[in-house]
Amino acid sequence: MSENLRFLPYEAVVDASFWYTLCQIKLDVDRLSEAERPLTAATMDPAGLTAFVDYSSFNTLAESSVDLNLKLMKWRLMPSLDLDVIRNHKVLLVGAGTLGCSVARGLMGWGVRHITFIDSGHVSYSNPVRQSLYGFADCGSCSEGPKLKAEAAPDALRAILPCTTSSGVAMTVPMPGHTTEGVKEAAQLHRLIEEHDTVFLLTDSRESRWLPTVIATSMNKLAITAALGYDTYLVIRHGVKSNDSAENKLGCYFCNDVTAPGNSKRDRTLDQQCTVTRPGVSNMAAAIAVELLVSILQHSDRGACKADDETLLGTVPHSVRGFLFQFSHVLPSTPAFSQCIACSPKVIDQYENNRDEFLEKVFNSAIYLEELTGLAELHKASQIADILELSDDESIEEADE
């Protein structure tokens, strides 16, 4: 038996050229670069033969190191944590501004590898301090203009982690009340939402969230909205129908509104069109939005889970409203509104069966949605009730006199 045993010194299985190159990389700091270097390592297989492994790509090392942090969380704290469902999730970010940058970084931290941006803006000099994916060089120079956010944001993600699959689409989201030819862009947005699992609505106007909400509802895709005020924020997950029943569906971002979205930027100067917020609000809202998605993905019903359900990561609220002035937040939950201008059956039916004509009417008329959903009649009824109430008060006063 002893005749079959062989002892081989460790030095004998280390390739000399590999050891020399590795030492040069570690010690010669002045010449250290991010360029790939052809390295060869040697390991011992069970048969006692030397096996050479190619370590030419540091991208693989970076990817495995990032995954290791998440796996340590799973191994030490949460054995039931499903990391694969997070990693394989495809996310569409509508808006590559302050919220979009922060949400993208949070998703990468959780291992999401497929992120697509939609934005039509350019990087301005005021952006880099609040929008973490952009730098001074992206703002342009005398010879080159500013970069499109839809191009700069994916480039930044790949620079952070090369294995990330990220792209950007430079387009304007069609909006109600904005008289533009938006049918072509609507078809492109429809295709993008169809290709992804979850859509984040991270724009800075109410009307720009309408069409993505309609499309996501039509496809029964999960949508998460993050909206900012000066020192407040709202994060809400739009309701998704369960496979068992469509009843008790949670409301969307527009379910608490009784007016159709219009052009909120009309007659505003450029400085008034930007969202003015305390710098920390966007980071707080983005972090909550990302953590909400991860918690939803750990639930067996995914986006159809109830507002009071819990996962191994904790509760899965319908919405989170934060108030930085008081450093507090509340977790309101509302059911879907039957006359909602975005997710009601009448709106979805028109979108699915008469899409182009329906969208043209919405884009060119600020009151069409109110007439379609019955909100216009609701307004008239409330006005009549106010008049009758006022008349009753006057008659009582006259009787007293």
Catalytically active residues, by annotation: 274
Chain center to CA of 218: 19
Alpha-carbon gap, residue 151 to 131, rounded angstroms: 14
400: left (phi over 0), alpha (psi -120 to 50) or beta: alpha
Complete DSSP assignment for 173-215: PP-TT--S--HHHHHHHHHHHHH-SEEEE--SSSGGGHHHHHH
**How many residues in total does the chain contain?**
401
Residue 393 neighbours by CB under 8 Å, 6+ apart = none
Task: From residue 391, give the alpha-carbon distance in Å to each of 220, 246, 377, 381.
Answer: 47, 43, 21, 15
Residue 126 neighbours by CB under 8 Å, 6+ apart = none
Q: Residue holding tokens 């533009």?
A: 180
Alpha-carbon gap, residue 150 to 160, rounded angstroms: 16
- Label the pairing between strands 198-201 and 222-228: parallel
Q: Tokens representing 20?
A: 């020399």
CB-based burial label for 251 (10 Å; 0-12, 13-18, 19+)? buried
Q: Tokens representing 110?
A: 């959780």
Alpha-carbon gap, residue 286 to 104, rounded angstroms: 9
Mark 341-350 as b/e (b = at least 16 C-beta within 10 Å).
bbbbeebbeb
Alpha-carbon gap, residue 364 to 315, rounded angstroms: 41
Judge whether 261 and 206 are in contact, CB under 8 Å. Answer: yes
